[in-house]
Chain A
């Protein structure tokens, strides 16, 4: 089976994810950790991130709508979100979290709300893009991936 077309798509997609700032160098670190003994590591850790961060987004939203707002708690929630986002190389997410934190510091409720909407959009976009990317990778199979993924 000729994988070259598929690989072209994969490389092109990965490149665009990096060029558009969705992912940073940390994502490459994850790929470095994937091998025969842990062939789906990247997908697994990304899945854990999305599961964890969806929960955090819900908590943040609830905390924002509760009156009076507990900015200390909000900051703590976003801090967690930012941390795990940075662990998987989610650059845009990480940056948006920083914006949220800044608004939190200023006790700027409106700023927080706007930032949350952006975070949710970034979250959904990244999730969708990575799902597409992993689907492509799955088509080439683990052996091929192990050989080619670090190109």
Chain B
């Protein structure tokens, strides 16, 4: 067991405990349940405890039937327990047996773009109330700067305009349609043209209900269209898009890893995992993972890479 690695990366499990369990899926499930109770007690608001869908999807991508059975049962248990604590904005990544199950509490980061000051304040409040981390900018060009694009070229690696921060992950972009200079539609196009940003879901907001406008945006790749004024109930529509894009990215990542590490096969290796810092060599996906769930761990993957 790589207990040193694990104790560094898993605040809720001691390596002592870990040493004394086998890779018994049911034992792992039990420990996971303990973990989660602990996590909930720690969380100051229910907003921080949230299950995520994508581990289930990733598990489906590459699992043995037994693993699937255990994973789905534990997932359902958790799902049922925590229905009430559903807040749109936070993620907790679950890593299912035979890997360790760890619940982490990392809010998703949304970049909100609107030229109107009161509207910016409103969207910020809506997002924060829904447990998202928020950055607001007042124009499309400032949004692109923040995302690391200057003019028409991608700067590589994408770096936020704030020099004292490292790469800032953005999980979703929500933008007003009608803005002077670069419209929301123009911004959408630029994002979709960028290899590093095109997988970030984009939501367009507009005070005008014009079907041709809506269609144009959706055709250009917008994931959702909100009619203004945006309401609290609209916030719950955001997370599914974030999770869908993460799952898609993760499955691509898995396929990439599979072909890379075929020779590193391990008897109980389960490649299907949550993203770790090791897998950010794929620059096109790094934007999303950097700065996020650093406590996520898949010992299996790391072992197969390092052994």
List the interface of chain A (C-beta within 8 A of B). 26, 29-30, 32-33, 35, 37-38, 41, 44-45, 48-49, 51-52, 76, 79-80, 82-84, 86-89
Contact = CB atoms under 8 A, between A and B. Distances in A.
Interface residues of B, number: 18
Interface of B: 115-119, 121-122, 125-126, 128-129, 178, 180, 207, 228-229, 231-232
B234 to A, nearest CB: 10
Contact of B119 (A29, A41, A87): A87
A87 B118 contact: yes
A41 B125 contact: yes
B122 A45 contact: yes
A102 to B, nearest CB: 14
Given A33-B126, A83-B116, A26 B229 contact: yes
10 contacts: A29-B232, A45-B122, A48-B118, A80-B115, A83-B116, A83-B119, A84-B117, A84-B119, A87-B228, A88-B122
Chain B interface mostly: helix
A59 B117 CA distance: 16
B119 to A, nearest CB: 5
A106 B141 CA distance: 33
Given A52-B116, A83-B207, A45 B228 contact: no
Contacts of A37: 128
Nearest to A33: B125
Given A38-B128, A89-B229, 8 more contacts: A26-B229, A29-B232, A33-B232, A45-B118, A45-B125, A49-B118, A79-B207, A82-B207
A87 B129 CA distance: 17
Contacts of A35: 129
A124 B34 CA distance: 59
